[in-house]
Structure 1
Amino acid sequence: MSQAPAHPGFDINGIIRHQRNRYPVLLIDRVTDVDPGKSARAVKCFTYNEWFFPGHFDDEPNVPGFVQIESLTQTFIMTFLCMEEYRGMKTNFVSINNVRFKRKVVPGDVLKIEARLTSFKRGLAIGSAESFVDGEPACSGDFVVAVPEILDRYKPRG
């Protein structure tokens, strides 16, 4: 029995169709490939024109940690939002754990992100993501993300 091939990915328009983040907080440029319900890979190309560089910092611009974490999270949610039944649904953070920053990310760097979905039950997605610049680890973390529309179906009625 052959396994269905992974989806080849999404350009920016495909990402916008599948998740709700928009400028200025849509922080991935392309989903390079996705195995629905399992994994996703994405890239974010940082240019000096990013809105946060003048304030972080004008004498030594680098990507703020929250931007890196949000880029990882947006890749992570594509592991399940790429599935037709969840497409376009809102998501909320439940927890972010074990975050590690391994290197500075600066203008001109391309962040390559790999995300894995470990569990998706009753509207709670659990998994992790890590990023690399030129093959070097940059940032990683474990995530629990809720999909309120699904989660609400399982809340006790009072």
Structure 2
Amino acid sequence: MSDPTRDAPSESDFPRPDKLLPHRAPFLLVDEIVELEPGERCVALWHLSGDENFFAGHFPGRPTLPGVLMVEAIAQTAGLAAASASSLEGKLALFGGIDKARFRRQVIPGDTLRLEATIDRLSARAVRASGTASADGQMACEASMMFLIADADAGA
């Protein structure tokens, strides 16, 4: 009899986010990749411990993850999907625009944000993507976004 957990991908089956994105602490908002279809889709997690600096000021007495950081985390997840495409090797996806961002639920210390992003269109010059952030199975944020493609080493 086969073990069904043996065929399931593990965290070690996916690269660390910092291997695909140029972001580093404290602005790398994605802790781990849990699903990845290169150039098509990515699911990642962001574990919010409550020790993050922004919680102290947003808001004292009622710490809440800023919505703009949820959008950035979705964008980073879309960036992971795009960066994993072989056609974009050596390239960098620069955030170019946000459309239809909606916030549905407060995210608080201790929550794990499940980030899902799908590449809707990928070309050598631009990427269109859509994504969501959820906590405890409830939608927290959704947005569509655009990225412009640049050489990763330009300006270095």
Identify whether the pair has TM-score above 0.5, normalized to the shorter chain: yes
The structure 2 residue matched to 1:130, chosen from 115, 129, 132, is: 132
2:5 corresponding residue in structure 1: none
- Counterpart in the other structure of 1:90: 92
Match of 2:53 in 1: 51
109-118 vs 80-89, greater mean Cα deviation: 80-89
Which whole-Å CA distance do the structure 2 matches of 1:13 and 1:135 have between them?
Answer: 25
Could you say which residue in structure 2 is the equivalent of 1:3? none
Match in the other structure for 1:105: 107
SS in 2 for 1:91: strand
1:17 corresponds to 2:19: yes
Identity %: 27
- Separation (CA, whole Å) in 2 of partners of 1:35 and 1:50: 30
Matched, 1:79 2:81: yes
- Name the CA shift for 1:57/1:12 in 2 (closer, same or farther; >3 Å): farther
* CA 97–15 in structure 1, closer or farther in 2 if over 3 Å, else same: same
Residues 23 and 59 of structure 1: CA distance in aligned 2, closer, same or farther (over 3 Å): same
Moved more, 13-22 or 63-72: 13-22
- SS of 2:71's equivalent? helix
2: CA distance between counterparts of 1:23 and 1:11? 23
Equivalent position SS for 1:96: strand
Choose which of 28, 31, 52 in structure 2 pairs with 1:29. Answer: 31
Q: How many residues align?
A: 145
Give me the TM-score of the superposition, normalised by structure 2: 0.84
Paired with 2:16 and 2:86, the residues of 1 have a C-alpha distance of 12
Runs of 4+ in 1 over 4 A off after TM superposition: 7-13
Query: How far does residue 10 in structure 1 lie from its aligned partner after superposition?
Result: 6.4
In terms of mean alpha carbon deviation, does 10-19 or 109-118 score higher? 10-19
Deviation at 1:90, TM superposition (A): 2.7
